[in-house]
Every structure is written in structure tokens, then in C-alpha cells.
Amino acid sequence: MKDYIFIIGPSGVGKTTLAKALFKHYKGVYFEQNMIPEFGIPDDVDEGKYEEEVLWESSIELLKYFHYKGIKNIIALDFNDLRTREIPSIFKGTNFITLKLISSNYEQNKNQMLSRGEKGLVDLELLEVSTKKIMNRGLLPNEVLIDIANKSREEVLKEAINIIDNYDSKLDYEYAEPSKEFFYSWVQSDGLRK
């Protein structure tokens, strides 16, 4: 049993599909950052940075509250990739795992994204940039790579459950956050889309 199960990866790679199946399996908590209620944004701030900061900080507090209440297997996803580098600092000392989903078959990822149609963001240029950044950066503490290429949903789920059930999360480790340039950010003013 884990305290937290974070799922990260580019758009269209299957994060939500996997998270919902893991929630059904583990019966913990299922949380996406977009579940934070709508809120007003002051006129005198950078809208993107402000919105992302409020979403992230609210998410952290909510996740910690679930943990405080004794709930295990808290599944959390859809954070700005740049925030992924903070997870090992914020959640150090807890039994967490981060599943980094990628597809070494870019066409598969692209087709999954296109199949969303009107339901999701379909920006293939951003998809390619984010996919490369997420694939190419090194693994962080308690982060495990799952390549979904040419695998069915069931195969990915089985692999994820096997990893979660057998991975020995480190509670104590030395960690310095990697440079921002290794991460993708949906906030344009971060300048990390290149």
C-alpha cells in the first residue's frame, strides 16, 4: 500500500485511464488537479502563473489532508510537469511513487490524443515538445517509467499494479531539484516550451 501514487506524462498518454483503473483497484482517492473549483483571478497578476500556483498549492493541501485522515493509495495526476520536480521535496518521508507514463511510439500517443476529439486539447506541436521533454529527463526519487507503446490498457494497468505493489519507496534520500529547463510547463510565461 502506498501513501500517494502520482501519475505524470504528456497529454494523451493514458494518465486518466490508468488513474481511474487504479482507483477502482485500490479504492483510495482519485484526484485530478482540475477538480479544484473555479476561482477569480486578480487583474494585476500573470493569469497563467497565478492560476497554476493556486491549483498546485490547493492540490498539495488537499492531498495532505486525505493522508492526514488515514487514507492510503491517494492517486493524483494532471499537474503541470514542472511541478513534478517538487514532488520528492514536498512528499519526502511518505511512501509515494510517481509513475512516469511515456510512449516510445510517438504515433500511438498522437493518435490517442487525436481520438479525444472535442474532449481535449489537441495541440500536436505542444504534444511533441512535452513528450520529448518528459521522455528525456532523468528519473526523480521514487519515480518509475512505464512505456505504454504497443500495450493495451489492460497490460499497462497490470504493469502499474505490479510496480506499485512491489516497489520499495525510499523515505529518505538526498535530492536537489533539477533545473527547470528539463521540464515542460503549460504556463507560457515560464518559457519552457522549447
pLDDT in tens, 158-192: 999 999 999 999 999 999 999 998 988 777 666 66
CB 25 within 8 A of CB 165: no
Nearest Cα residue to 146 out of 102, 108, 183 = 102
**Listed range (18-22, 127-131, 169-173) with the worst mean pLDDT:** 127-131
End-to-end CA distance of the chain: 38
The DSSP code for 121 is: -
Question: Does 2 score more than 80 pLDDT?
Answer: yes
The per-residue pLDDT for range 49-78, each reduced to its tens digit, is: 888 899 999 999 999 999 999 999 999 998
Report all structural domains of the chain as residue ranges with CATH numbers, in order of start: 4-190 (3.40.50.300)
- Residue 172 three-state SS: coil
**Listed range (42-51, 125-134, 171-180) with the worst mean pLDDT:** 125-134
**Residues in CB range of 55: below 8 A, 6 or more apart:** 33, 34, 36
CB 26 within 8 A of CB 70: no
User: Within 10 A of 90 (CB to CB), how many other CB atoms are there?
Assistant: 14
Query: In this prediction, what percent of the chain has a pLDDT beyond 70?
Result: 89
Q: What is the pTM of this model?
A: 0.90
C-alpha–C-alpha distance, residues 136 and 3, integer Å? 27
With bands split at pLDDT 50, 70 and 90, how would you rate the model's confidence at 122?
A: low
C-alpha–C-alpha distance, residues 135 and 16, integer Å? 18
